[in-house]
Structure formats: C-alpha cells, structure tokens
Chains A and B, each alone.
Chain A
Amino acid sequence: MKNNKNNSIQREKITKGAKIFAVKFERVMKELANG
C-alpha cells in the first residue's frame, strides 16, 4: 500500500519533471544532437 503510494508520487514527480525538461532542454539537446 505504502509502496504503491510512493510509486505514484514518483510517477507524478517524473511526469512533471519530464515536461519541464522537454521545454527547458530543447536547445541543449538540439546542439548535442547536431554534434
């Protein structure tokens, strides 16, 4: 039960962070992809 709750908090955290990452890191990832 506690584990499920922890997993869901973690998923929520990752989801939020990944969305921010997509916006914030676009330029950096583009530069690295282009060598």
Chain B
Amino acid sequence: MDNFIFPSKDNFKIFIEVVKETNHSIEKYLPPINADWYNIVSESIEYIQSTYLYEQNKNIHVVLSRILYKLAKKHELGDGNKRTTIIAVVLTSIINDYFVLSPEKLKYLVKRVAKTKGRINEEIIKNRIAKELEKIILPFN
C-alpha cells in the first residue's frame, strides 16, 4: 500500500470530539483523555510511520498489526491501553477507507497481545495478528 495514511494528532482530536458530541453513552467508556494521551498515542503512530519506509511488507493489515502491538503491548499509558489501541486501529482503518467488521474479534486480539509476556516471538505474533486482521478489517469498496 503506497499511499498509506497514518492518523495525526488532529485526526485523533476530531475523532474523540465527534464521539463526545454524539452524546452517546460510549463517552463514559473512553480511556482517560488529556494532552498526554494525544501526545503518547500520536508519538506511537509516528514511530510506526518512521519505520514504515524500511519495512518490506506495506500491507495495511501488517501496518495495523504493528500499531496494535505497539499500543497494546508497550503499556505506555497509565490506564486505557487496550481501549486506546482499539481507537487507533479503528481510526487508521477509517482514514484508509477500511472498516472493522467485528469489534468483538478486535477486542479479543488486543487482549491477546496485551497478555503476551516479554518480546519473545514479537514478529511471529505480529504476523499472526495481521492474518487475523485480514478477516475482520475490510475495504469499503
């Protein structure tokens, strides 16, 4: 995927604003969101973006699996790492014209990655996650 779009801090701001504006009950289940949250999540995405040029496989599901792994596994936030991971994967899918077919399955994958110990088999885990994401994250058209 040559023209992959990585979400910016502003993209996250728009996304969260809209979720809050909808007055939907999901607002109370959002992770604690403040300036630090926007910085940490966008820095994590920037890190993935910085290594993107050197990666051989630029398939969207591979990139999404890297984002998922980075956010779910590294626990850079005090609270809400798994929920933040879901937001980042969904937002990245949206801006690249993809949609998540199964929220339940995505939650399962995020929990599975968060539970893994250490960094053993990191590449194998990311490849497996990418294969699973192929089944649940599909193009709009």
Q: A residues near B, CB below 8 A?
A: 10-11, 13-33
Contacts and interface: CB of A to CB of B under 8 A. Distances in A.
Given A17-B90, A17-B91, A23-B24, A29 B18 contact: no
Given A10-B11, A13-B97, 19 more contacts: A10-B5, A15-B18, A17-B91, A17-B99, A21-B26, A22-B18, A22-B26, A24-B103, A25-B90, A27-B103, A28-B86, A28-B103, A29-B83, A29-B86, A32-B82, A32-B86, A33-B28, A33-B31, A33-B80
Prevailing SS type, chain B contact patch = helix
Interface of B: 5, 11, 14-16, 18-19, 22, 24-26, 28-31, 80, 82-83, 86-87, 90-91, 93-95, 97, 99-100, 103-104, 106-107, 110
